[in-house]
Amino acid sequence: MHKLFLALLFLVLAGLSWFAVIAFFVWGIPIGLLFLSLAIWKFSEWFYKKIIPFNVASLLFIFPVMGLVAVLTSNQNLPVAYEAISFLLYYIIPIWVIINFYRKVRSL
């Protein structure tokens, strides 16, 4: 039960971090994605009733890195080819990460 509580706590912290973006704290995006990664990890531990090791959950920590890339490249004049890369980065990779994470969790 404490894992579900931790997952909900991390979701609230992620929401607060993303809400801080409104106050021009741009680092709230990667911090919120870090809390979201932790929430997914703890919710999966609660749902599957098993301990998920860090080497499996480390896949989820690609999300904060993606948020960091978004923050660092937000005010740059980038070429049109960046649009294709950003589509891959923000739509395809997160889906792949979630699918592979849950495949690894089920094989434990």
Domain locations along the chain = 2-106
- Confidence band for 81, pLDDT divided at 50, 70 and 90: low
- Confidence band for 93, pLDDT divided at 50, 70 and 90: confident
The answer to whether residue 65 scores a pLDDT higher than 80 is: yes
Q: What is the per-residue pLDDT for 47?
A: 93
Q: Is 39 exposed, middle or buried (0-12, 13-18, 19+ CB in 10 A)?
A: buried
The answer to whether residue 12 scores a pLDDT higher than 90 is: yes
Query: Burial letters for 6-15: b for 16+ Cβ neighbours within 10 Å, e otherwise?
Result: bbeebbebbe
Tens-digit pLDDT profile for residues 26-54: 888 899 999 999 999 999 999 999 999 99
On average, the pLDDT of the chain sits at 87
- 42 or 91, which is more confident? 42
In percent, how much of the chain has pLDDT > 70? 94
Whole-prediction pTM: 0.84
